């Protein structure tokens, strides 16, 4: 079994879509705006400002900054409470950690709501490290950059590690850092993942899938 496993958060471990989408809707309405694209789970994953620009259609940077701050306030006090754990996640994480694997989170989500959600859901205890783009100043430019920082900080052997995520960005973070990638196909961002990636349809199957990695060729998206 790989000794170190990196996880995306939204769409991989948690279903955060109800709270995030509700916060988007409230924030847009409060600013007299209507979404220019449907508010659906496929929006979740990219950095907040990128998504707010997409859903609002605004090219006004000052307005975009206000939308970002309003979203943070709404989501950090109300929206995050609607988050649910995907089936099998709590037991699967406990099983992996109990088998001696070190578990890490690498997410575009800001650190404040990430910590709140993991604490409320009782998942934080399973992780050796929780890492976000906004934990450094300046903010990390990409999830791949956060992944590299995690690998370096913890002395992770890439040949004994893998990345589990649902999106193209997760796949790219794995590829750019020489990690095997497991695609959480039940998540939000499955459209562009290459067919050759290891596919995970149910989280409860992850421990068994990871056990087989030592006997399989490297998988890169």
Q: Say whether pLDDT at 184 is over 50.
A: yes
Q: Is residue 159 part of a domain?
A: yes
Residue 81 makes CB contacts below 8 A (sequence gap 6+) with 19, 120
pLDDT single digits (tens) 48-73: 999 999 999 999 999 999 999 999 99
Confidence class for position 211, pLDDT limits 50, 70, 90: confident
Q: What is the pTM of this model?
A: 0.89
Q: Is residue 89 part of a domain?
A: yes
Domain count across the chain? 2
Q: Answer yes or no: do 132 and 42 share one domain.
A: no
Q: How much is the average pLDDT of 200-208? A: 94
Q: Which CATH number is 94's domain given?
A: 3.40.50.1000
8 Å CB contact between 86 and 14: yes
Q: Answer yes or no: do 122 and 188 share one domain.
A: yes
Confidence class for position 221, pLDDT limits 50, 70, 90: very low
Could you list the residue range(s) of the whole structural domain that residue 71 is in?
17-82
Q: At which of 82, 117, 136 does a domain end?
A: 82
Q: Answer yes or no: do 149 and 126 share one domain.
A: yes
Helix (H) or strand (E) holding 119: helix 111-121
Q: Answer yes or no: do 99 and 133 share one domain.
A: yes
Catalytic positions, please? 8
Q: Which CATH number is 75's domain given?
A: 1.10.150
pLDDT single digits (tens) 146-162: 999 999 999 999 999 99
Angstrom distance (rounded) from CA 26 to CA 29: 5
Angstrom distance (rounded) from CA 184 to CA 197: 10
Q: Is residue 220 part of a domain?
A: no
Residue 216 pLDDT: 58
Confidence class for position 210, pLDDT limits 50, 70, 90: confident
Q: Is residue 174 part of a domain?
A: yes
């Amino acid at each position: 079994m790989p000794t170190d496993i990196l996880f995306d958060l939204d769409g991989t471990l948690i279903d955060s879509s109800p709270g995030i989408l509700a916060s988007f809707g409230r924030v847009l309405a409060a600013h007299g705006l209507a979404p220019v694209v449907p508010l659906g789970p496929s929006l979740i994953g990219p950095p907040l400002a990128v998504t707010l620009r997409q859903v609002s259609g605004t090219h006004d940077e000052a307005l975009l900054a206000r939308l970002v701050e309003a979203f943070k306030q709404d989501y950090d006090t109300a929206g995050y409470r609607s988050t649910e754990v995907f089936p099998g996640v709590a037991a699967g994480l406990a099983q992996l950690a109990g088998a001696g694997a070190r578990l890490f989170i690498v997410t575009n989500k800001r650190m404040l709501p990430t910590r709140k959600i993991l604490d409320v859901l009782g998942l934080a205890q399973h992780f050796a490290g929780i890492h976000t783009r906004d934990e450094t100043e300046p903010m990390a430019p990409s999830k791949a950059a956060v992944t590299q920082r995690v690998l370096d900080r913890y002395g992770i052997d890439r040949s004994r590690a893998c990345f589990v995520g649902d999106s193209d960005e997760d796949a790219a973070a794995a590829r750019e850092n020489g990690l095997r990638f497991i695609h959480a196909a039940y998540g939000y961002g499955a459209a562009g993942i290459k067919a050759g990636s290891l596919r995970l349809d149910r989280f409860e199957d992850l421990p068994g899938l990871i056990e087989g990695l030592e006997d399989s060729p490297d998988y890169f998206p």
